[in-house]
Chains A and B, each alone.
Chain A
Amino acid sequence: MSETIEKVSIIISKGSFEGIYPGLIMANGARMEGIEVNVFFTFFGMDAINVKHYEHLKVATVGNPGLHIPTMLGGLPGMSAFVTHQMEKKMAELDIPPVPEFITLIADSGAKLYACKASVDMFGLTREDFVEQLEGIITVGDFYGLAAGGQIIFT
């Protein structure tokens, strides 16, 4: 291994359970390798750091062909909660934490968490809507400044 990654900046843009976890796992995994990490939450991805929502994220069971459930079935009441519950059980077995604990783990590991200013303004949110570990609400330009010299991952 002659070349190594020193810094990654991960963008989390989707708000569902399956939209948020991959980025968090990538962020935590990078810190575990000693890689510097920024995480930029934008659009519905901000649910991961929104204290009103981050405990209640659900798997999208409609319009999610990867689940292999017919659309009509996916739309039944309780289906999303059921699939989410199944997935949470599986993740607990693998020692993957629930989102609030995962955010704390990632922040404590030294990763920096940022919310996207345009999205915050669009959704009418303020600093108080987010976890205390949030480093700041920043513009896209600021994000590119922070990401300079490293890799950018969009999820």
Chain B
Amino acid sequence: MSTTVIANRELELDAEGFLQKPEQWSEEIGVELARQVGIDPLTDRHWQVVRYMRDKYLQTGQAPSIRSLGKDSGVSTKELYQLFPKGPAKLAARIGGIPKPHGCI
């Protein structure tokens, strides 16, 4: 666990850089987190995935699987990997300020 300051807010991060308290997140922070993982700019299509991940997590307490991300987010599996080449579920969770997804799928 470490802390960092983004957009004048002190944030708690785990060892891999995921926000530990989703309520500390804001869109401004999302933009900066995206920049840290090499996604700049964050387009509307990125935002659609990030918001879907975050909303699902806040509703259910669990991050969606890559399968449901491809089916229900409105962004196809192929496009997900174009938007987030280093792993759509993992990166969208990190940018959206929720903990790292635990599922294997």
Tell me the nearest residue of chain A to B88, going by C-beta.
A32
Binds A, one of B19-27, B28-36, B45-53, B78-86: B78-86
Q: Quick check: is B65 within 8 A (CB to CB) of the other chain?
A: yes
- Chain B residues near A110 (CB, 8 Å)? 78, 81
How many residues of A sit at the interface, in one of the four size bands? 10 to 19
Q: Are A108 and B70 within 8 A (Cβ)?
A: yes
Q: Which A residues touch B86, using CB under 8 A?
A: 33-34
* B103 is an interface residue with CB less than 8 A from chain A: yes
Query: B85 — which chain A residues lie within 8 A by C-beta?
Result: 34
- The 15 sampled A-B contact pairs (Cβ below 8 Å) are A25-B104, A29-B104, A32-B66, A32-B90, A33-B86, A34-B85, A34-B86, A95-B65, A95-B68, A95-B103, A104-B77, A105-B77, A108-B70, A109-B80, A110-B78
Using CB atoms and an 8 Å cutoff, list the residues of chain B in contact with chain A.
Answer: 65-68, 70, 76-78, 80-81, 85-90, 103-105
